[in-house]
Structure 1
Amino acid sequence: MTSARKTPQTMKPATAAKKLGVYLEATPAEFQEGPISRDDLNALQTDPPTWLRDLRRDGPHPRQVVAAKLRVSIGGLTRAGLTDALTTAEIEAIKAEDPDWLRREQETQAEFRKETERLKSVRPRS
């Protein structure tokens, strides 16, 4: 009988970046170049290095983070013509400007969430 050696579970850098909530293209080259082990990801989440703390604080942020910070959907960002990653300063500038599209998309998102909650409450549990 041969003993099988366990290989560490790995993921692509894009997957790891998504799990960390950061924009892949803004991460260091060594992060982007190779697979990330589950242990490495856990270490980054537990004790984030300076580059990760800086990216989370200042950006640029991936679209899902931008959408969450603006309280809109990713589709709402697209309708507004925002297709690139944004920094925290750019997000704050949009909030301060409070354009019509932002208010409309926030209302749409709020209605969607309200309807989702309503549907959850009326569906029988299985």
Structure 2
Amino acid sequence: MSRPNAQSMKPATAAKKLDVYLPATPTEFRENAITRDELAALQSDPPQWLKDLRKDGPHPKNLVAAKLGVSIAGLGRGGITEALTTEEIEALLVEMPDWLVAERESYQNVLSEERRLKALRTDKARRG
């Protein structure tokens, strides 16, 4: 593999920017540096493999967590350590195991507290 220069990035970085699970990408993508122009082309006119990955997965943990409405740490507490497909995520949402219910509630509480604190800071800043 050639060493990435200032105008290119490692495949892992490109996969993060594309919101895809790197091990599920084609070998050519995983084994070569991606230029900024190539990344822009993938974003503006995604090839079929990218469309399929985005639609069906497997998805990286950040997207799995977002789709399930939990934190990434919550996934780990729930025993989810690998990437999941869209079908697996949908099955979990239908099944709604106890850990998922608890993690979703916990995550919503955290988000509510973050919003409350932000409002307090904003109000304090306005008052000077």
- Regarding TM over 0.5, the answer is yes
Code of the residue aligned with 1:43 in structure 2: it is A
Q: Judge conservation of contact 1:22–1:55 (CA < 8 Å) in 2.
A: yes
Unaligned runs of 5+ in 2: none
Aligned to 1:116: 114
Q: Which amino acid aligns with 1:57?
A: K
User: Within 5 Å, which residues of 2 pair with 1:1-126?
Assistant: 9-123=7-121, 124-125=124-125
TM-score, structure 1 as length reference: 0.91
* Overall identity of the aligned pairs, in %: 61
What is the aligned-residue RMSD (CA, Å)?
A: 1.4
Runs (4+) of structure 1 exceeding 6 A deviation are none
**What amino acid sits opposite 1:30 in the alignment?**
E
Task: Indicate if the aligned counterparts of 1:14 and 1:24 stay in contact, CA closer than 8 A.
Answer: yes
TM-score, scaled relative to structure 2: 0.89
8 Å contact 1:16–1:41 — kept in the other structure? yes
